[in-house]
Amino acid sequence: MKNKIIKHKLKNIGKIRISNLAAVILTAIFIFSLSSCAPVGPKYVKVPPDAPKNWHKKPEKIFKYRTTPPENLAHWWKVFNDGELEKLMEKAVKGNIDLKVAVERVEEARILRGLKKTYLYPTINFESTVSDQRSSENAGEGRENRYYSAGFDAAWELDIFGKTRRSIEAAQANLEATEELLHDVMVTLLAEVATNYIELRTYQKRLQILEKNIEIQRKIYELNKSLYDAGVIGELPLKQSLSILEETQSQIHPIKNAISTTKNTLSMLIGEKPGSLDKELEWKKDLPHPPETILMGIPINTLRSRPDVRRAERILAYETALIGVEKADLYPTFNLSGTFDFSSIDVGSIFKWGSRSWNIGANIFWKIFNAGATRKKILMQTSRQKQALLNYKSVVLKALKEIENAMISYSREIKHEKSLEKALKSTENVLSVAEENYRAGISDYINVLDAERSLQEIEDQLMVSKGKILVNLIHLYKVLGGGWEWMNYSNRGSGKNEKGEKVQAKNNLKK
């Protein structure tokens, strides 16, 4: 009779355990079914840039241009047909330190996105312990035991209201914004290399003109000295010719200094030590000729190709997703947890079925009252989203302004160059007449000196203008967003993708 009662009780206990386990499983299934709900918070809709249909300043009225897709500006520097410049561009992409830092920032953002994705899955831990214990003789039996245990525990926070999904969405937007920052660094770097290269060639041509004038003025001074020694001319023309010679010679040092500093800047831009380009760039080359036709896109496509505009839009997406992250705290969180382990005081019996123990459960946690802190965080994040939207609009307006100003600067410098060419011809005629009058004894030598000084200044200004035309064209291509496509770190990424596979883009950079 007693055996039947014991069996009956054991049977009921088994039913209770099975019933409790079923309740937990049913609760878990119910909670898991809720995870298909859409995440809370606003769903981001991509905001296109507010672009005009046409440029305010009609390009066709200021220079020749041809409409082209933005991707055709990927290698804009090739319009100069300068092999040396192309080599410098390649070296800059491989060696520039700032670019490498930007690459690592992309890698960091990619890892962060992967980290956020891990929160969607349960965590499982294994633990094994060995411990010695002794109970008090005055409070127990005074026994010494060694305990062995080994087992697993698991925990899973179900993403019912989409907090984790929104954080992944924010991490993805942050990754894309970081990639656009890399593209922006790329655009700036290529423009800086090209600008410094053109400035170097300009300084070298100005030095050539200066040295040519010094040689001419030295011959004039020597001629005047011989005439003075022969008593043909007085002391004043001799001193005047010496004065202008010394004045011209004094201009050599600032230009040579500019040549050295520009070379060092180019060395820094390609990630090398000062002086590494001295021999390579010592040979003086003529300035490249600007192309007859400028490639440009329509406003909307140009804005969409600019990394800074795209980055501002991605930051807006990031701030929008974070509203959902904050809003999810208004709702309860659901957790599943469980443990299963073996424990025994005998190492030989630790993995026997009788040594098992387990625990499984479901947990609901809900912040019922926190004095409105959660709602204030939502309002604060909403304000950040509005700031991001305003910043996006500001970046678009700034981009439009830069492009319009770049077009105007380029066209006006072309006109300035033409004016200087006319002035140069006129001054050459003035010098020719002044020299004839001086030889004929009609006018003083001061007129010849004034004409020579004017001619030298205009020659220098003309060379500066030629260089400035090219620099302005470089700036125009920069503000049009050209250049970053050369090393396109798209969403497929740089460094390693999530499977650990190397992506070719990062391999373009030297370690």
What is the CATH classification number for the domain harbouring 403? 1.20.1600.10
Distance, first Cα to last Cα, the chain: 83
Alpha helices in 96-162 (DSSP H): 97-118
Strands 294-296 and 65-67 come out as: parallel
The reported pTM is: 0.82
Lowest mean pLDDT among 16-20, 184-188, 386-390, 503-507: 503-507
Chain-wide mean pLDDT for the chain? 83
Statement: residue 140 has pLDDT above 80: no
Which pLDDT belongs to residue 15?
42
Task: Report the pLDDT value the prediction gives residue 490, as an integer from 0 to 100.
Answer: 35
In the three-class reduction of DSSP (H, G, I as helix; E, B as strand; rest coil), residue 227 is classed as helix
Which domain, by its residues, includes 46? Answer: 35-64+84-120+159-331+366-507
For residue 488, the model assigns a pLDDT of 52
Work out the pLDDT band at 478, boundaries 50, 70, 90.
very high
pLDDT bracket for residue 33 (50, 70, 90): low
Residue 327 within a domain: yes
Alpha-carbon distance of 89 to 79, in angstroms, equals: 14
pLDDT bracket for residue 28 (50, 70, 90): low
In percent, how much of the chain has pLDDT > 90? 42
Residue 152 lies in a domain: no
Q: Where is 56: in which H helix or E strand?
A: none
Whether 10 is in a domain gets the answer: no
**Total count of domains within the chain:** 1
pLDDT digits (tens, 9 = 90+) for 82-101: 999 999 999 999 999 999 99
**3-state DSSP call for residue 146?**
strand
Give the confidence band of 391 by pLDDT, cuts at 50, 70, 90: very high
Let me know if 322 is exposed, middle or buried by CB neighbors in 10 A (0-12, 13-18, 19+): buried
Residue 42 lies in a domain: yes
Phi, psi of 213, deg, nearest 5 = -65, -35
For residue 14, what pLDDT is reported?
A: 43
Q: pLDDT at residue 494 above 90?
A: no
Q: Which backbone phi and psi does 70 adopt, to 5 degrees?
A: -55, -30
User: Domain for residue 12, yes or no?
Assistant: no
The band of 65, judged by pLDDT with boundaries at 50, 70 and 90, is confident
pLDDT band at 191 (very low <50, low <70, confident <90, very high): very high
Asked if the model's pLDDT at residue 8 lies above 70, the reply is no
**pLDDT exceeds 70 at position 502:** no
Strands 356-365 and 65-67: unpaired
When pLDDT is cut at 50, 70 and 90, the band that residue 59 belongs to is: low
How far apart are alpha carbons 213 and 246 in whole angstroms? 11
For 412, which DSSP code?
H
Q: Which residues pair with 340 in a beta bridge?
A: 152, 358
User: Is 447 a residue whose pLDDT tops 90?
Assistant: no
For residue 319, pLDDT over 80 is answered with yes
Q: What type of residue is 489?
A: Y
What is the predicted pLDDT for the residue at 435? 83
Query: Which pLDDT band holds residue 18 (cuts at 50, 70, 90)?
Result: very low
Q: Is residue 358 part of a domain?
A: no
Calculate mean pLDDT across residues 495-506: 40
Residue 302 in domain: yes
- 135 pLDDT above the threshold of 80: no
Domain-embedded: residue 57: yes
